[in-house]
Amino acid sequence: MSLDAVISADLLRTRAEITALSTALAAARSEIAGLNTLMTGNSVIKSVQRGTVSIHYNASDPTIINIAAVAPSKCLLSFLGSTGYLISVPDYSFANLSRLRLLDSTRLEVNRSTWGTYSSPVTLSWEVVEFN
């Protein structure tokens, strides 16, 4: 076997390995780009803000909650639940007789019920989801 044949075989094998590595590198770059797009650009949700507010029985109405700026037309405001009772009436206990609304792009407004005997504070949980 001549030295030229050995060099030629090594050269062919090296070229094949380089081609395989180039193909694998291109596939890896494509997968990374796809993951980057999934994580940054294709989500329908732009932001999520959550919080709680405690309303004391003798608190002034309304209670204002400041949030990071959102586009109100692209938002969903959700009431996630409450603890405690805001109103106590004989034979009845009403939890969370309140109104929660998106006042503008940076504020939520909570109004408590204005009837009955106020007995203890209530804590409300809320969530604002802004969509792209």
Sequential pLDDT tens for the chain (132 residues): 677 777 788 888 888 888 888 888 888 888 888 777 777 667 789 999 999 988 876 666 788 999 999 999 999 999 988 776 555 556 555 544 578 899 999 999 988 765 555 566 778 899 999 999
User: Which amino acid is located at 46 in the chain?
Assistant: K
For 45-131, CATH gives 2.60.40
- What's the confidence (pLDDT) of residue 84? 67
122, 46 Cβ separation under 8 angstroms? no
Distance (Å, rounded) from C-alpha 43 to C-alpha 92?
A: 45
Taking the domains of the chain in order of start, what are their residue ranges? 1-42, 45-131
Q: How far apart are CA 7 and CA 35, in angstroms?
A: 42
pTM above 0.95, yes or no: no
List phi, psi (to 5°) of 72.
-55, -35
Find, among 65, 100, 60, 102, the residue nearest to 79 by Cα.
100
